[in-house]
Chains A and B, each alone.
Chain A
Amino acid sequence: DIVMTQSPDSLAVSLGERATINCKSSQSVLHSSNNKNFLTWYQQKPGQPPKMLFYWASTRESGVPDRFSGSGSGTDFTLTISSLQAEDVAVYYCQQYYSPPFTFGPGTNVDI
């Protein structure tokens, strides 16, 4: 099974400051067939279902503000919020869909 880890577990960022979340997979999720990383990022706010932010590691989902960016390849990935807004308070998860079981990272709690 591919183990997903995230760091930090939680972070507090001032409004307007940058937040950076790291995600690491225990094996590469870069598929040779299409040269894409089978990695996605989700945001979950309290009382709400998760919302996809990025797929293929860096393709922004429609409607996601451009202050969010996804990067990385292979085993190391990063989600960056360039200027944190109050509505960004949430738990952020990475997930691999390279091979079953399609494991999630443990989540990173972002607060102000």
Chain B
Amino acid sequence: EVQLLESGGGLVQPGGSLRLSCAASGFTFSSYAMKWVRRAPGKGLEWVSSITGGGDKTYYADSVKGRFTVSRDNSKNTLFLQLNSLRAEDTAEYYCAKGHSASPYSAMGVWGQGTAVTVSS
């Protein structure tokens, strides 16, 4: 069974940092692009970042570019999202999702349960 399990969320002060992880199982991790999507309270879904299966290409929403960094460790079947210079507007549930292929130009067929990030003083 394909599973994604996020961790690393929590309460952080503005300007602080967090590192989110997404542990994957049940599929050949390196063969698929992975994505991060968030949903802020009372808002809709927002795509945050994507990374190719090999990890050689990354993509970011303008709202997080320069502050967030996506990476992956294919030997450990784990996806990461480093969140720096956090702002109140980054408060959201963060989901990792599996692409349909190694390409970032793919739909998201499997989602994790999410991890909550709250940015507040």
Contact = CB atoms under 8 A, between A and B. Distances in A.
B45 A101 contact: no
Interface in A91-107: 91, 93, 95, 97-107
A104 B46 contact: yes
Contacts of B62: 1, 101
B26 interface: no
B113 A106 contact: no
**Chain A interface extent, by class:** 20 to 34
Contacts of A97: 104-107
B59 A50 contact: no
Given A49-B113, A52-B107, A97-B106, A91 B59 contact: no
Interface in B39-78: 39, 44-47, 50, 59-62
Contact of A98 (B105, B108, B114): B105
